[in-house]
């Protein structure tokens, strides 16, 4: 059972009519003078602004969403009638938007009156999609095994890694097959066209990159022969699909800015859907990378689970948007992804008779954890993001010596401090009474001596792989050890300095560190290593940059990365952090600046599968397990084990490699 809704404008008036799958049609009716073209445009801009600021709809926008719901369905209750005719089954609602100015409106944000979260976008009772006029035939395609996904990322592998990581569970079970992606220079339009002609032919094409319009024509950004950006009209890709793939390719996901933005020639999503693809998922507006990745992961989770969604793209998209509303605190970003549907049915994959076979696993050397919880061995056997704190026994002599110096300085100022005062509070008092320059001088006296790194640093560097890692140590021990153990990897260091971030790079095969005048446009976390040093201290070349030490330093200088880096670079780093499990070492939830950093790095919560290793003397295991003080809505980490850093040397050990 489905319902069709036609929406068109006549001058300033917007008119709607409905019809059912058996062609019963209602006469067109106006939405009312208070819901004319201009009013609906204001509603659209309001929802878009809320999404840009990651906010839920305010009271005014919610009232407008409910008013639109009433107006579109005025004169009858087609939802009640339709649902009564098919009890227990969601009702497919196909929107026919006959004017470009109505195509950019987030109709999926319409809300049932009397319900604060009764959005069409997340409804379990109705499934909104956007209709596409085409002469291409339609029928559901049988999928007898894994759902094959071909990803294309002209800008590099950062987005792909996050997506592949998010889909890992589905790939491991055999529900999905991850075909070799086209990345960087290999993601030329010509290379994609050639790949689409060869087996194995994908069921799904997933594009990660930029979209836009050039002189009113929807375009997607591919690479040229040199790997530089090249804008290609979406219509050319549509023609290639129509020529060779219309019997195979069933879904395109445009993880690109404004893939659903209308133009005089229709949106990129609509153009691709006309070509013979059954459905296209695209975004009305630019969205943050972590939101787009989460949306894609949830979409595939539902779509691949044939027993639940039966290959239904509309059902799966409502599942994904509902998950976004939960994960991102009701943010209007959930209304950006929309579905363009070519045929009369949103079940685009036929999973009847499907046989799922888990893929054969490659045997990999997994670090042996002698005497350590097996959870650590599982963590080290897959990609992870390290967060290395500064609380471990090897640091205690240095910290104690520094603390003694600060107490002496306060005594000279006739402002003695209590022995149990936290280090940040103690440093704050010295800065106030003796000056910041004196505090820095005492820090350098203590830490510039080039103390040898603790044994676990070298062992840990072997386990650190490509990706994004964070160290709170004031010494450059980790950077130097990682550079030694991974000579064939390019390594970037983001170092907190007096005037903001200092960026250093050691190119693969080189032994020299170079300070960059400008940050790279992006990085590839599948091949390169990024080490973030938010607390400052000494650079890999032992150059002093004032560290964060005082309470004011942490509160005022520990900024969000997305405001300190170019957008694409920040997205690459933050998306990697948001999906890769975190290995937390030497951290404390009772230390204020540690909690603050966790909130900066993981504002929506520490990723699933994360593990904290704490020293038994800290007695914080239950706090970590409960999630006390952690960001987001964590109920605690997946696992918390107790072990000293010295105990971990064997766990991190193994053959050197890169």
Region of poorest pLDDT, from 137-141, 325-329, 394-398, 490-494: 137-141
State how far the Cα of 524 lies from the Cα of 533, in Å rounded to an integer: 19
Residue 358 lies in a domain: no
Q: Is residue 244 part of a domain?
A: yes
Count the helix, strand and coil residues of the chain and give each as a percent rounded to the nearest 5. Answer: 40, 20, 40
Question: At 183, which helix (H) or strand (E)?
Answer: strand 182-183
Rounded to whole angstroms, the Cα distance separating 19 from 101 reads: 22
155 has a pLDDT exceeding 80: no
- The residue out of 131, 151, 178 marking a domain boundary is 131
How many Cβ atoms are within 10 Å of 404's Cβ, its own excluded? 12
Section 438-442 average pLDDT = 89
Rounded Cα–Cα distance for residues 647 and 658 (Å)? 24
Of residues 294 and 307, more confidently modeled: 294
Q: Identify whether residues 520 and 592 lie together within a single domain.
A: yes
| Among 580, 570, 577, residue whose Cα is nearest residue 599 | 577
Domain-embedded: residue 514: yes
Q: Which of 389, 380, 289, 390 is nearest to 581 (CA)?
A: 380
Residues in a beta bridge with 506: 491
Count Cβ atoms below 10 Å from residue 328 Cβ, excluding itself. Answer: 21
Question: Last residue of a domain, which of 110, 131, 152?
Answer: 131
Task: Write the CATH number for 319.
Answer: 3.40.50.1460
Strand bridging mode 251-256 / 204-209: parallel
Assess whether 412 and 272 both reside in one domain: no
119/156 same-domain check: no
Peptide bond into 624 cis (omega under 30): no
**Domain closes at, from 109, 131, 153:** 131
CA gap 306, 170 in Å, rounded: 12
Residue 46: CB atoms within 10 Å: 19
Query: Using an 8 Å Cβ cutoff, are 458 and 436 in contact?
Result: no
128 — pLDDT class (breaks 50, 70, 90): very high
Residue 496 sits in the same domain as residue 584? yes
Tell me, yes or no, whether 355 lies in a domain.
no
Closest CA to 474 of 560, 540, 563: 540
* pLDDT tens-digit readout, 180-223: 888 777 778 888 888 877 778 888 999 887 777 777 788 888 87
How far is residue 625's CA from residue 636's CA, in Å, rounded to a whole number? 4
Mean pLDDT of all residues in the chain?
82
In-domain check, residue 657: no
12: buried, middle or exposed (CB in 10 Å: 19+, 13-18, 0-12)? Answer: exposed
pLDDT in tens, 237-270: 888 877 766 556 889 999 876 655 665 556 888 8
Q: Are residues 494 and 642 in the same domain?
A: yes
Q: Are residue 408 and residue 469 in the same domain, yes or no? A: no
Are 31 and 53 members of one domain?
yes
Reported in sequence order, the residue ranges of 31-146 that DSSP labels E, i.e. its strands, are 91-97, 126-131, 141-142
Which ranges of 129-232 does DSSP label H, i.e. alpha helix? 158-166, 168-173, 189-195
**CA 438 to CA 464: how far, in whole Å?**
36
- Percentage of the chain lying above the pLDDT 90 cut: 30
Is 366 a member of any domain?
no
Whether 486 and 634 map to the same domain: the answer is: yes
Cα separation, 110 vs 214, in Å, equals 31
Per-residue pLDDT tens for 531-556?
Answer: 999 998 888 888 888 888 899 988 88
Tens digit of each residue's pLDDT (9 = 90 or more) over 378-425: 787 778 999 999 887 767 777 888 889 999 999 999 999 888 888 899
Instruction: Give residue 96's domain range.
Output: 2-131
The closest of 468, 577, 121, 50 to 287, measured between CA atoms, is 50
Same domain, 281 and 255: yes
97 plus 177 within the same structural domain: no
**Does residue 572 form part of some domain?**
yes
- Tally the residues of the chain: 658
Q: How many domains does the chain have?
A: 4
What is each CA distance from 639 to 12, 485, 631, in whole angstroms?
Answer: 59, 28, 16
Cis peptide, bond prior to residue 170, ω within 30 of zero: no
* Residues 473, 577 within the same domain: yes
- Given a cut of 70, whether residue 143 has pLDDT beyond it is yes
Strands (E), 11-77: 13-20, 29-30
Contact 611, 581 (CB under 8 A): yes
Average pLDDT value for residue range 601-608: 83
Q: Dihedral (C-alpha) 244, 250, 255, 259: value to the nearest 10 degrees? A: 70
Reduce the DSSP state of residue 118 to 3 states and report it.
Answer: coil
Q: Has residue 363 been placed in a domain?
A: no
How far, in Å, CA of 67 to CA of 54, rounded?
A: 23
Quote the CA–CA distance of 71 and 53 in Å, as a whole number.
28
Same domain, 179 and 327: yes
pTM of the predicted model as reported, rounded to 2 decimal places = 0.61
Q: Which residues contact 102 (CB under 8 A, 6 or more apart)?
A: 7, 8, 9, 14, 40
């Amino acid at each position: 059972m489905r319902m069709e809704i036609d929406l068109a404008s006549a001058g300033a008036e917007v008119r709607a009519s409905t019809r059912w799958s058996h062609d019963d049609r209602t006469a067109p009716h106006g939405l009312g003078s208070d819901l004319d073209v201009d009013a609906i445009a204001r509603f659209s801009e309001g929802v878009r602004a809320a999404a840009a600021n990651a906010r839920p709809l305010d009271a005014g926008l919610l009232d407008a969403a409910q008013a639109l719901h009433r107006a579109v369905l005025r004169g009858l209750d087609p939802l009640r009638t339709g649902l009564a005719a098919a009890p227990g089954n969601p009702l497919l609602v196909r929107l026919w938007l006959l004017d470009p100015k109505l195509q950019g409106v987030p109709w999926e944000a319409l809300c049932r009156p009397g319900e604060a979260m009764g959005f069409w976008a997340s409804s379990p009772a109705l499934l909104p999609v956007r209709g596409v006029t085409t002469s291409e035939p339609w029928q559901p395609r049988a999928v007898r095994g894994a759902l094959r996904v071909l990803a294309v990322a002209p800008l590099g592998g950062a987005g792909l890694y996050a997506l592949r990581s998010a889909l890992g569970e589905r790939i491991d079970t055999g529900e999905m097959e991850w075909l070799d992606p086209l990345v960087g220079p290999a993601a030329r339009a010509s290379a994609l066209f050639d790949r689409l002609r060869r087996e194995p032919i994908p069921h799904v094409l997933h594009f990660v990159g930029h979209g836009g319009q050039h002189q009113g024509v929807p375009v997607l950004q591919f690479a040229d022969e040199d790997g530089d950006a090249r804008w290609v009209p979406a219509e050319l890709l549509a023609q290639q699909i129509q020529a060779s793939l219309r019997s195979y390719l069933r879904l395109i996901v445009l993880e690109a800015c404004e893939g659903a933005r209308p133009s005089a020639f229709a949106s990129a999503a609509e153009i691709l859907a006309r070509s013979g693809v059954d459905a296209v998922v695209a975004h009305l507006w630019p969205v943050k990378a972590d939101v787009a990745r989460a949306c894609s992961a949830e979409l595939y989770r539902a779509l691949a689970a044939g027993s639940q969604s039966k290959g239904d793209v509309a059902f799966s998209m409502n599942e994904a948007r509902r998950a976004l509303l939960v994960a991102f605190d009701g943010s209007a970003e959930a209304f950006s992804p929309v579905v363009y549907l070519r045929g009369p049915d949103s079940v685009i994959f036929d999973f009847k008779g499907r046989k799922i076979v888990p893929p054969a696993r490659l045997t990999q050397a997994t670090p042996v954890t002698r005497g350590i919880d097996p959870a650590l061995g599982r963590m080290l056997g897959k990609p992870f993001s390290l967060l290395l704190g500064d609380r471990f026994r090897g640091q205690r002599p240095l910290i104690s010596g520094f603390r003694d110096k600060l107490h002496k300085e306060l005594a000279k100022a006739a402002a003695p401090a209590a022995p149990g005062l936290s280090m940040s509070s103690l440093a704050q008092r010295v800065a106030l009474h003796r000056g910041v320059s004196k505090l820095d001088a005492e820090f350098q006296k203590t830490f510039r001596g080039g103390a040898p790194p603790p044994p676990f640093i070298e062992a840990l560097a072997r386990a650190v792989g490509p990706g994004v890692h964070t160290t709170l140590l004031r010494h450059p021990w980790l950077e130097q050890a990682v550079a030694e153990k991974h000579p064939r990897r390019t390594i970037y260091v983001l170092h907190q300095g007096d005037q903001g971030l200092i960026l250093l790079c050691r190119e693969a095969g080189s032994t020299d560190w170079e300070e960059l005048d400008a940050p790279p446009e992006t990085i590839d976390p599948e091949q390169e290593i990024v080490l973030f040093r938010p607390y400052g201290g000494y650079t890999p070349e032992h150059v002093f940059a004032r560290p964060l030490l005082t309470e004011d330093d942490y509160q005022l200088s520990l900024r969000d990365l997305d405001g300190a880096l170019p957008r694409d670079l920040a997205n690459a780093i933050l998306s990697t952090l948001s999906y890769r499990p975190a290995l937390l070492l030497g951290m404390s939830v009772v230390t204020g600046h540690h909690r603050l950093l966790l909130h900066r790095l993981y504002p929506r919560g520490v990723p699933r599968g994360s593990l904290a290793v704490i020293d038994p003397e800290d007695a914080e295991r239950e706090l970590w397990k409960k999630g006390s003080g952690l960001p987001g809505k964590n109920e605690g980490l997946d696992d918390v084990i107790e072990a000293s850093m010295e105990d971990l040397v064997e766990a991190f050990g193994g053959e050197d490699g890169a």
